[in-house]
Structure 1
Amino acid sequence: MPKTIAILGSALFFAVAPTTVAGLVPWWITRWEFRPPFFDLDATRAVGILLIVAGLPGLVDSFARFALQGLGTPAPIAPTQNLVVTGLYRYVRNPI
């Protein structure tokens, strides 16, 4: 797969998959009916936001390695052509 198509495919998958899992599924469950914070502490929301922000660089790096080194996408419909064994993939089979 050409690098340009791999990059575009990974970008599309990056936009669709997390949006579905982190946005659409919670909306289906809650219809965005917000409740008081866990244990009535606003700190739990702050910790949640910090954890999301801390995980984003690893997610972006994993998607970039799929496209640039593996010449594919995380989507099974367009798998990588090369085995990626650098970055987080050096330690974990599937960091995404």
Structure 2
Amino acid sequence: MGRRAAALASAVFFLLGPGLEAGAGPALLTGGFARGDDLPVQPAWSVLGALLVCAGLLVVVRAFVAFVLEGRGSPTPAAPTGALVVSGAYRWVRNPMYVATAAVVVGEGLLLARPVLFVAAAAYVATLALVTRRIEEPALARRFGPAYAEYRAAVPGWWPRRRPWSPPATPVD
């Protein structure tokens, strides 16, 4: 897939994936990102929330860029990558987009004082853990074979490693 097509597919999927999950969904749950009275106002929680939102968005955007540049595709199964993406945040955790999107939703919950968003983030992670285990991982194993098996054995799915994983110098066949 060419870079333009990969970038377009990624942009559309960004709106339909993280855009709905961390944008439209939380907006619907909070009445348009309205601040709630569900939690006491604590500046430290607001700062932490802002940091989670910013860091999460940065990780998601960088992961999408890696799919276009390194993988020559997009995160959507409709326009998949031609190469296994194992750079950037993928060196720390196998599902950085999901982890980062959940962090954005938790950050929004802290910023807006809306505990319902903590529940939404937990439901999001639980659902995607099931989808990942049942659909995504088997598809990646079929597609990338031993390279994915080695990556999966070395990099945890949901909790980041202490140090980034370094792929072997020569690809595993």
Q: TM-score range by the shorter chain?
A: 0.7 to 0.9
**Who is 2:12 aligned against?**
12
Structure 2 residue identity aligned to 1:44:
W
- Scaled by the length of structure 2, the TM-score of the pair is 0.49
**Who is 1:56 aligned against?**
57
- Partners of 1:91 and 1:18 lie apart in 2 by 20
- Partners of 2:17 and 2:77 lie apart in 1 by 12
Give % identity: 42
Give every structure 1 segment of 4 or more consecutive aligned residues whose post-TM-superposition deviation is greater than 6 Å.
none
Structure 1 residue identity aligned to 2:25:
V
Structure 2 residue identity aligned to 1:84:
V
Shift, 1:31, TM fit: 2.2
- Partners of 2:80 and 2:10 lie apart in 1 by 10
Bigger shift: 34-43 or 18-27?
34-43
Structure 2 residue identity aligned to 1:36:
D
**Who is 1:81 aligned against?**
82
Task: Say which SS state the counterpart of residue 24 (structure 1) adopts.
Answer: helix
- Partners of 1:27 and 1:55 lie apart in 2 by 17
**Who is 1:47 aligned against?**
48
RMSD value, Cα: 1.9
The structure with higher relative contact order (CA 8 Å, sep 6+) is 1
Could you give the per-residue CA deviations for residues 33-52 of structure 1, whole angstroms, max 9, x where no partner exists? 53126233243222211111
**Who is 1:28 aligned against?**
28
Shift, 1:55, TM fit: 2.3
* Contact 1:10–1:74 (8 Å) recurs in 2: yes
Structure 1 residue identity aligned to 2:66:
R
Structure 2 residue identity aligned to 1:18:
P
- Scaled by the length of structure 1, the TM-score of the pair is 0.81
